[in-house]
Structure 1
Amino acid sequence: MIELKYVDKRYPASNAFLFINSLTINKGEIVGVLGENGSGKTTLLKAIMGIGELRNGEITIDGRPVKEQYERMAFITEEGSFLPDLTPVKYAQFLASFYPRFDQEYFKKLLKLYELPSDSKIKTFSKGQKIKLEISAGLAKQADYLLLDEPFAGKDIFSRSDSLKLMMSGLSGTETLLITTHLIDEIENIIDRAIILHKGIIRADVYIDDLREEGKSLAEVMHEARSKRS
């Protein structure tokens, strides 16, 4: 369980901020974190990962501080955390030294599924290949909490669909996922819940099953959330 209480995160050099009075992400949920660029999606994930200081508030993972839970978490971002002069195989060895649960055999399997060269230096990879490498590394960490920041940005619709299906097939079903994206049509049938942010504030928090019972779409909720903004 991820719990945020009175979280206030700001950036000195800009007007961007995140303010969340209370938010709980239950274990095993797949949550889409949605909103326009600059709405606070990435800031929310970084706050949960303990990246940067909070102005106020508390974030816990299963009742413990984030800094005590790093080995159970994986942050997958388009920016990448890989070392460009390493090959994927060497990168896996590096990760295994920091993450006791890292599964090198599973990582190699993912490299094959994504058709990534295992012995080429990562700096020679295309942008799409680097994103696939990040996803492979994140899944191989066997993390309980996966935070994915726009993992399929820049891909064409077919590549995004294939990558999403492949990523989901690699899960055990017990993981908690937070996925930031603006591609709502592609994740609506995958997520359990949608959190919609605007200007650092949660404007809507809905479960997809409830929406279906009401005969509403996620796009409609997004539109209503935008109409509430100040």
Structure 2
Amino acid sequence: MIELKYVDKRYPSSNALLYVNNLTIHTGEVVGILGDNGSGKTTLLKAIMGIGEIQSGEVKIDGKPVTEQYERMAFITEEGSFLPDMTPRKYGQFLADFFPRFDQTHYTELIEAYELPSDRRIKTFSKGQKIKLEICAGLAKKADYLIMDEPFVGKDIFSRRDSLKRMISGLTGDETVLLTTHLIDEIENVIDRAIIVHKGLIRTDIYVDDMREQGLSLADVMLEARKKSPSPSIHWPN
């Protein structure tokens, strides 16, 4: 379970912010973190991963600080966590040394499935190839928590569907997945729950089954979230 309480993240040089009063994500949920560019989606994922300091509040993974749970987490991001002078083969060996759960065989299978050159330096890869490599590394970590920030940027529609299919087929059902993307039509049948972030605040948190019972689509929910009051009350801790 992921728990955030009174999490406050601000940037001195801009008006950007993130404030989460109380958010719980249960084990095994596949959650879409959705919103416009600059809404705070990536900041929310980084707060959960413990990347960058928050001004106040706490984030816990199964009741423990994030720093005690890193080996159970994988962060897949378009920014890339790879070392550019390495080849995918050497990168896999590097990850295996640091992540006890890393599945070298599965990693090699994914590299081959994505047709990535295993002995070419990563810095020579295209943006799309680098993202595919990130997905390979993230899935091979066999993490309990998969945090995915725009993993399908730069892919054509067939590659996106292929990546989604690989991701879903590789899950056991016990993993918790958080996914940011603008491709809402393609993930509506994948996620269990949608959290809509707008101007640094969570405007809507809805389960997809409930959304469908109301006859709504993700596009409808996002539109309604944008219309909500820009300054909902913030409940600071005592």
Give the TM-score of the pair, scaled to structure 2: 0.95
1:53 is aligned to 53
1:78 is aligned to 78
Distance 2:11 2:177 in 1: 26
1:107 is aligned to 107
1:94 is aligned to 94
1:7 is aligned to 7
The 5 A counterparts of 1:21-170 are 21-170=21-170
1:226 is aligned to 226
The letter of the residue matching 2:10 is: R
Does 199-208 or 12-21 show the bigger shift? 12-21
Give the C-alpha shift of residue 97 in structure 1: 1.1
Distance 2:129 2:87 in 1: 13
Structure 2 unmatched ranges of 5 or more: 231-238
Give the C-alpha shift of residue 158 in structure 1: 2.1
The structure 1 segments of at least 4 consecutive aligned residues displaced by more than 4 Å after TM superposition are none
> SS where residue 98 of structure 2 aligns?
coil
Give the C-alpha shift of residue 110 in structure 1: 0.6
Give the C-alpha shift of residue 153 in structure 1: 1.2
> SS where residue 97 of structure 1 aligns?
helix
CA-based RMSD of the aligned residues comes to 0.9
Distance 1:223 1:101 in 2: 41
> SS where residue 101 of structure 2 aligns?
coil
Give the C-alpha shift of residue 114 in structure 1: 0.9
> SS where residue 33 of structure 1 aligns?
strand
Does 106-115 or 164-173 show the bigger shift? 164-173
Give the C-alpha shift of residue 66 in structure 1: 0.4
Aligned length: 230
Give the C-alpha shift of residue 183 in structure 1: 1.2
| Preserved contact between residue 30 and residue 177 of structure 1 (Cα < 8 Å) | yes
The letter of the residue matching 1:27 is: T
Could you report, residue by residue, the CA deviation over 1:50-109 in whole angstroms, capped at 9, with x for unpaired residues? 011110101000000000000000100001011111111100111111111111111001
Give the C-alpha shift of residue 121 in structure 1: 1.1
| Preserved contact between residue 198 and residue 229 of structure 1 (Cα < 8 Å) | no
Does 162-171 or 145-154 show the bigger shift? 162-171
| Preserved contact between residue 31 and residue 195 of structure 1 (Cα < 8 Å) | yes
Q: Does 1:213 align with 2:213?
A: yes
Could you report, residue by residue, the CA deviation over 1:1-21 in whole angstroms, capped at 9, with x for unpaired residues? 000001101112211110010
The letter of the residue matching 1:68 is: E
Give the C-alpha shift of residue 157 in structure 1: 1.9
Between the aligned residues of both structures, percent identity stands at: 75
